Structure 1
Amino acid sequence: MNYVTISPSKLKGEVIIPPSKSLSHRAVIASGLSKGTSIIENVMFSQDIIATCACMEALGVIIKKIKTSTNIYTLKVTGSSNLKLLQNEIDCCESGSTLRFFIPISLIHQNNVTFKGKGKLISRPLKEYYKIFDKQGIEYSTTSGNLPLKVNGSLKSDQLEIAGNVSSQFITGLLFALPLLKDNSTISITSNLESKGYIDLTLDILNKFSINIINDNYKKFHISGNQEYKSRDLRVEGDFSQAAFWLVAGAIGGEINCLDLNSQSLQGDKEVIDVLKRMNATVKISSDSICTKVSKTKHTVIDGSQCPDIIPVLAVLASLSEGTTEIINAGRLRIKESDRLTAITTELKKLGADISEKQDGLIISGKNELNGGEVDSWNDHRIAMSLAIASLRCKNDVIIKDSSCINKSYPTFWQDFKKLGGKINEWSLG
């Protein structure tokens, strides 16, 4: 078990924000579905991206990795037109995106495949796909609804209905697969669509690889069949969900300039900028960077429906801001890598925060500083990194248990924390 001990400090300096994990997933998949060879620059090999690359390779895609800096690679991706599985078991590790994207992709042709996973992924919901399997007569079996999932059959062009308030990943998975089927399809959204930003990223990537989808106001998606992905070169932009940690860190305890961010990005987690501004943080935006400085921040209302991944670190910001902040429409955080509403509430309370949990949100009364103490990451990368940011305004050291979980999305987080002046000691027990 790995731990970090963090002593309170101010962070200052520049940090190169890691490439977007969401865009990296999509770029690797779209290039792998294309005829020809694509060059995808600026990809960080987190555990989730490693899982997606492995799944593409299982479909016959050739991926050559060229290291350009610490854990950053350029990928030369040669697509496969056959998409016949080379192996019958697919291990998605702990990546929900990989699992939900690859289930329909694996069924573009007739295949018999078993999907495996680890940790919380084993029990994350897949019922939206099970409904499609039942409708289309695709054989499948699970262990009481959980992984491993065994599927035998092929996806058919269809008029499909998907709930929009469980995960946008189901919609993205279908948007990848349906254009390659023979006939036209539609996807109708049966409830309010949350995380629209992720759908925008998918549609943008598909368009870049010559796939055309008609978006009818996010209520219905019209997909022509017999389309063809065309290879192209692409550079992945910086990740706003990872930048959020440093932008909050700058606002509560330092001055941090986040580099390689596209201020015109389609990423939904760009919402962090608007939240920081509403909370009176000093935010300076340039063409390719965003800087925050220590500020006297105040309360607001934060809607988590479109930006669930940044809610844990925004809860840290609220805990150290004047007044009472309410986080609403965040019920989907309960089905992430951990129950993030319970996790962040439990651990911030240990540090001395005044935070309470609702069914779909949080109520947080801010303090000038927290106490510190020992906390648990819940094996959730976003909880671990959020607690690290909270340490900047604690009286005493913060010890984070199971700190290596950051490898899921941001393997160099602790290195960047140190480079910015963080006082941190990593150690292992047992």
Structure 2
Amino acid sequence: MRGTASALPASKSIANRVLIMKALAKSESALHNLSDANDTQLMLRLVNSPETEIDVEDAGTTMRFLTAYFSITNQKKILTGTARMKERPIGILVNALRSLGVDIAYLEKDGYPPIRINGFSSQKTNAISIRGDVSSQFISALMMVAPVLPQGLTLTLEGKIGSRPYIEMTASLMRHFGTTAEFAGNTISIKPQTYRAAEFTVESDWSGASYWFSFVALAKEADVVLPRLSLQSLQGDRAIADMTALGVKAELVNGELRLTKASGAKEISWDFTHCPDLAQTVAVICAAKGIKGNFTGLESLRIKETDRIAALQNELRKIGADLREDDSTHWTLLPSTKLPSSASFQTYKDHRMAMAFAPLATLMNVEIENPSVVRKSYPRFWDDVRSFGFQIEVR
């Protein structure tokens, strides 16, 4: 397979952060290369919405960032979402905002959306402790609103810190928009500051790029070009470029990332603590290439769009592989010894399940149930797949 993934989306992680910062700056900052992914388009539409009820659908980042943004800017809102969104915990963020002085109420189940923001009159404290191992989005949400707090904010992250690159991404983007967050050890210190207007171009999405690493890893021959990607990216999923053990060589050629075949390993160890969205991609590559995987850092997968650990276990068994949970922090990927000629995979309303299993089409006939879920992060994924010569029939 040869060609360019020309529809590769822009990073929604970066886009959603800069959209919040633009709103906090109360500016008309020019933002370029915003993705047409549903998560980004939701944030673009909702951050300045005059509506009282805000429906974030299935967008977890949008729910968390807007909860902090509407709270600290004293906007009375109800935030709700899909049935799955109502199962995704938000209590840690709500408790932090309440300690700051925000009046927030749960409308159904304590600790979960939907929530009602009733107002924020004065800051009660300038220091908060918050778990570092649940979701970096809670931390990033608080970081972004901290400069507009009268007293600023010091965040102490308790225990192990997950997805650290995304916290560092937030701090870097804040600097671009004129504010500073000092991140040392387990403490983030942010003084009262003013966001400024700034032009910004969003780079391509490394999470989306990871599926093309998978296509290259599994194909017999491959030469794939990915545009607008930087090896010095802020995105945690840029880690996929370092894993030549999966059988992929990545190099910058004329400003674009070129992926070609490389010799892979028979066994790998990977800690997904700082790049959990790569887990499904890597698991499928290992399962199909006969690579035994020793994995850690998968804990947060249980509270994503679906329970991704259970979903992976169910679907990998269809190709003769298994993701075995050794204990609460270690998993072993036992690869397939013989792939079937065809298989049908459920997506569990999870965009990453669809895209992670699609590259198996290089080796077998693949059916993906509910393929439209990719609209969440990579709306034109199937167009890119077609452009490489794969035949796709939609039923």
TM-score, length-scaled by structure 2: 0.92
Following superposition, the deviation at residue 387 of structure 1 comes to 0.9
Q: Is the 1:15–1:416 Cα contact (8 Å) retained in structure 2? A: yes
With over 3 angstroms needed to count, the CA separation of the structure-2 counterparts of 1:328 and 1:97, relative to structure 1, is same
- The answer to whether structure 1 residue 13 and structure 2 residue 11 are counterparts is no
SS of structure 2 residue aligned to 1:316: helix
Aligned to 1:376: 346
Listed as ranges, the matches of 1:7-406 within 5 Å are 11-16=1-6, 17-58=8-49, 86-136=50-100, 138-145=103-110, 146-154=112-120, 156=123, 158-217=126-185, 219-225=186-192, 227-253=193-219, 254-275=222-243, 277-286=244-253, 288-298=255-265, 299-358=267-326, 359-367=328-336, 370-371=339-340, 372-394=342-364, 397-406=365-374
Amino acid at match of 1:263: L
Give 5+ residue unaligned stretches, structure 2.
none
* Structure showing greater relative contact order (alpha-carbon pairs closer than 8 Å, 6 or more residues apart): 1
Residues in 2 aligned to 1:250 and 1:136: alpha-carbon distance in whole angstroms: 48
Residues in 2 aligned to 1:44 and 1:189: alpha-carbon distance in whole angstroms: 31
SS of structure 1 residue aligned to 2:31: strand
Give 5+ residue unaligned stretches, structure 1.
1-10, 59-85
Following superposition, the deviation at residue 360 of structure 1 comes to 4.2
SS of structure 2 residue aligned to 1:238: coil
Tell me the matched-pair count.
Answer: 385
SS of structure 2 residue aligned to 1:407: helix
Residues in 1 aligned to 2:373 and 2:83: alpha-carbon distance in whole angstroms: 11
Following superposition, the deviation at residue 297 of structure 1 comes to 2.3
Amino acid at match of 1:45: D
Q: Deviations over 1:98-156 (max 9, x none)?
A: 11111111122333321111142111111212322553452412312332111212172
Residues in 1 aligned to 2:322 and 2:109: alpha-carbon distance in whole angstroms: 38
With over 3 angstroms needed to count, the CA separation of the structure-2 counterparts of 1:134 and 1:174, relative to structure 1, is closer
Q: CA RMSD in A?
A: 1.9
Q: Is the 1:297–1:322 Cα contact (8 Å) retained in structure 2? A: no
Name whichever of 110-119 and 278-287 sits farther off: 278-287
Q: Is the 2:217–2:247 Cα contact (8 Å) retained in structure 1? A: no
Name whichever of 293-302 and 323-332 sits farther off: 293-302
Q: Is the 1:93–1:117 Cα contact (8 Å) retained in structure 2? A: yes
Q: Is the 1:300–1:326 Cα contact (8 Å) retained in structure 2? A: yes
Name whichever of 343-352 and 127-136 sits farther off: 127-136
Q: Is the 1:251–1:292 Cα contact (8 Å) retained in structure 2? A: no
Identical-pair percentage = 26
SS of structure 1 residue aligned to 2:76: strand
TM-score, length-scaled by structure 1: 0.85
Residues in 2 aligned to 1:174 and 1:24: alpha-carbon distance in whole angstroms: 17
